[in-house]
Amino acid sequence: MKEIPFYKPSIDQRERTLIQEVLDLEKANKVETLEKNFMNYIACGDAISTVNGTAAMHLAMSALDLKRGDKIICSVNAFPSIAEVVRHFDAEPIFVDIDKDDFNIDVNQLENVLKNNKAKKLKGAFISHVAGQSANLGTIYELAKLYDIKIVEDATGALGGTYNGKQIGSLEGDITVFRFNPQTNHSISSAGMMTTKDETLSQRARLLRNHAIVGDGWDKYGNLGYVYDVVDIGLKYDLNELNAAFAIAQLEKNNSFIERRLEIVDIYNRELASCPHVSVPVKKYDHIYSQYIIKIDKNRDNFAKELKERGIYTSLHYIPMHLLSYYKHKYSLRVNDFPKALSNYQQILSLPIYSSLSDKDVHYICDHIKEIAKNRV
């Protein structure tokens, strides 16, 4: 039986060459090269690399000096890492419902939450760009200025994404976080990036990233000088040379990855446009389709099971956080507290979409979706 994984990385000689240079102890400072290349790619001010996307999120909260009892707004429809890094400071995530079409935070609900939490230790908002489609940043930036809060953008699924044609990470957000590896577990390599135009936030993040150590500096092999001091409670989130080498190669190919995904989107949209029980994604803002999320109007779980039986693997983006045991019990949340996120969750299904996926495989997926849908009553 044919098997199509949900995601498969695209690797060629470029990754192997850069990794071999690291192993041969040649052309060092891959981390520095990655950060410089990223700043050129995004035009973001400063780029601080980390071991993964979640580390970039946690470092962002550290740079903001988040404290116990502070509040951070976030969409209820996001990966658990966002609320998780907030809770590590004993701060409180405030969940907001979503726009039913683009799956991003509902800006009207966001404004209501801001009004109700004014002057209550509200520090900022974590804004996710779900599936590579930008959130309504124009309205969000206006609200941030009006209510004097920090905006941290979650672009872990939006590397190379844009809002009104301008790169996410180069706009008005205080901090933006990215990641290079789509897999959550067992990834070949992992790397994250925190970007900011704020020099104070940048300096604090760079300090905290490696134990908050100051001193004589490090040699090219990573050895610390014999005179040093520690000036804060630091972290250990600095990226190693091997993962930086892999990330450099992936970043060089990111635009081609996006171009290929858009070609796949054209096939999906065309083939599934009139498929019964299936709705294709709604594009409201700039979209690079790091995920292709359809809706199934009848028995989504069984639909996914039938696809898997045919060798086609799918995923969910995301299970709303108010349905996850920890947050449900911690904040006494009810199933119907976020009706739009709940309704979407009951229908959404993410299909395979990555650069090495062939047109033949995409048509294979579409043919089986249409066959399964046709047999539904």
**54-88: pLDDT as tens digits:** 999 999 999 999 999 999 999 999 999 999 999 99
Fold of domain 13-202+234-252: Aspartate Aminotransferase; domain 2 (3.40.640)
Q: What is the pLDDT of residue 225?
A: 77
Per-residue pLDDT of the chain in tens (377 residues, 90 and over written 9): 899 999 999 999 999 999 999 999 877 799 999 999 999 999 999 999 999 999 999 999 999 999 999 999 999 999 999 999 999 999 999 999 999 999 999 999 999 999 998 767 999 999 999 999 999 999 999 999 999 999 999 999 999 999 999 999 999 999 999 999 876 677 899 999 999 999 999 999 999 999 999 887 777 777 877 788 999 999 999 999 999 999 999 999 999 999 999 999 999 999 999 999 999 999 999 999 999 999 999 999 999 999 999 999 999 999 999 999 999 999 999 999 999 999 999 999 999 999 999 999 999 999 999 999 998 85
Where along the chain do its domains lie?
Answer: 13-202+234-252, 254-374
C-alpha to C-alpha distance for 142 and 362, rounded to whole angstroms: 40
Q: What is the pLDDT of residue 328?
A: 98
Q: What is the pLDDT of residue 377?
A: 59
The amino acid sitting at 369 is I
C-alpha to C-alpha distance for 169 and 173, rounded to whole angstroms: 7
Q: What is the pLDDT of residues 270-281, one digit of tens each?
A: 999 999 999 999
Q: What is the pLDDT of residue 184?
A: 65
The amino acid sitting at 172 is E
User: In the CATH scheme, what is the code of domain 254-374?
Assistant: 3.90.1150.10
Helix (H, G, I), strand (E, B) or coil at 237: coil
Is the separation of the CB atoms in 171 and 285 below 8 Å? no
C-alpha to C-alpha distance for 104 and 36, rounded to whole angstroms: 30
Query: The tokens of 41 are what?
Result: 């790619």
